[in-house]
Structure 1
Amino acid sequence: MNDLLDLALLAHGGADRWQRSATIHARAAVGGLALARRGQADIFADTDVTLDVHRQHAVFRNFTGPGLVGVYTPGRVAIEDADGTVLQELRRPRDAFADMDRTSAWDQLHALYFGGYALWNYLTAPYLLTLPAVQTEEGRPWDEAGERWRRLHVTFPADIATHSPEQTFYFDESGLQRRHDYRVDIGRAPVVTAHYTEAHRTVSGLVFATHRYAVPTAEDNTSRPGPIFISIDIADITVR
């Protein structure tokens, strides 16, 4: 582990506190063009999600309807009723995007896979960067918003469902995450996305960004004002 990742972990609550945490529960409003252009603009508009810190697993309550449950893992997504009866199911969900282009519509299970892995990645960072086989290397610093941010280049192994294998995380001088760059492989995104993380809040010793938005980047790595691909506003968050 390098010193930048050490700093980031400390700024977000410390490795020991993350290791002692089991679940994160969040209520959030999620929207943006990435969902709207797939025909799923409102599917996460009132999100109630509980995710496991130490495995890729998330449960969405009242998903697509009262009392229904959306269950995400990298290898399977499903919609169940309140009794656990499976109503819809998709195994090996990432394969379902193989023949899609940037204009293809998603169904509810496609959206569940995207929302499941994305929120799991976002809410467990930077702790997920310590997982086995995740490779990190500090790059050249980046000046933005009148500040100098340190950049961590990350390579994810195939067993972690995420936007793309190569990503970059930006941290300010205190170690707080401020930006996150990636391509969305399943959406065949034509440009790199700059995902900004703001309004950090401490909850049970861990630190989370409660306002997020993602916009395209220009060729010089600066971000464009829009369109907003994804917006996330977290109203409530608890850690167990």
Structure 2
Amino acid sequence: MTNLLDLILEAHGGLQRWREATTIRAHGSMGGLLWTLRGQQGILATADMTVEVQQQRMVYEGFTGPGLRGVFTPDRVAIERRDGEVVAERPSPRDAFAGHGPQTPWDELHVLYFAGYAMWNYLTAPYLLTRPGVVVAELEPWEEPGETLRRLRATFPDAIATHAREQTFYYDAAGLLRRHDYAAEVLGGTPAAHLCEKHETTSGLVFPTHRYVLPIQEDAQVLLEPVLVTIDLTEISIA
């Protein structure tokens, strides 16, 4: 691990605490232009999430209706009843985005795959960066008005469902995540900046609880609009 990654892990609770965690539960809300463009406005206005920390799996309770849940894994997404009866499912869900344009409508299973892998990545970071096959390297610092952010480039293996193989994370002097740049492949590869605020500590782990995604220019400068995605998290608990 790099010295920067050591600092980051310690700032977010420490590697040992992350290794001990099995699930992260959070209540939240997601908004932004993306859902409207895909014909799914409001689908995650209320989101109850359970993330499995040590494997890539997460569940959205109440997904699309009372008594239902959305289950994400990299190889399959499914909407189920609480007794496990399958209402709808899709194997190889990433393949279902092939040929999509910027405003191609999504169905509920598209949403489940995108929001499933995205929130699993967000809620398990920075522990995510220690997983087998992930390669990290520190880049030159990034200058913001009145502040210098350290940057870490991460290259992900195919085994992890994520936005893109290469992503850049920005951290403040305390080692807290402030920005995360990627070009989501399932959205056509347009670069965006995912900004992180309001860090809170829960059971020893630290999470940004207010997040929003904005487009960026070729020089990586952030544009102020449109707001593509918003994420607000509350009631986080760890088991």
Normalization by structure 2: what TM-score? 0.98
Partner of 1:218: 217
Partner of 2:197: 198
Change (3 A) 1:88 1:99: same
| Displacement after TM superposition at 1:21 (Å) | 0.4
Partner of 1:139: helix, strand, or coil?
A: strand
Partner of 1:60: 60
Q: Deviations over 1:20-77 (max 9, x none)?
A: 0000000001011122100111111100010100110001101000010100000000
| Displacement after TM superposition at 1:145 (Å) | 4.1
Partner of 2:5: 5
After the TM superposition, list the runs of 4 or more consecutive aligned residues in structure 1 that deviate by more than 3 angstroms: none
Q: Deviations over 1:202-234 (max 9, x none)?
A: 000000000000101122211010111110011
Partner of 2:35: helix, strand, or coil?
A: helix
| Displacement after TM superposition at 1:99 (Å) | 2.0
| Displacement after TM superposition at 1:103 (Å) | 1.7
Provide the rounded CA distance (Å) in 1 between the counterparts of 2:145 and 2:197. 13
Partner of 1:207: 206
Q: Is the 8 A contact 1:102 1:189 kept in 2?
A: no
Partner of 2:234: 235
Partner of 2:119: helix, strand, or coil?
A: helix
Letter in 2 for 1:82: R
Provide the rounded CA distance (Å) in 1 between the counterparts of 2:106 and 2:98. 12
Partner of 1:227: helix, strand, or coil?
A: coil
| Displacement after TM superposition at 1:189 (Å) | 3.7
| Displacement after TM superposition at 1:161 (Å) | 0.3
Is 1:78 matched up with 2:72? no
Normalization by structure 1: what TM-score? 0.98
Partner of 1:186: 186
- Once the two structures are overlaid, the 10-residue window that deviates more, 49-58 or 219-228, is 219-228
Q: Is the 8 A contact 1:163 1:185 kept in 2?
A: yes
Is 1:144 matched up with 2:170? no
Letter in 1 for 2:234: A
Partner of 1:100: helix, strand, or coil?
A: coil
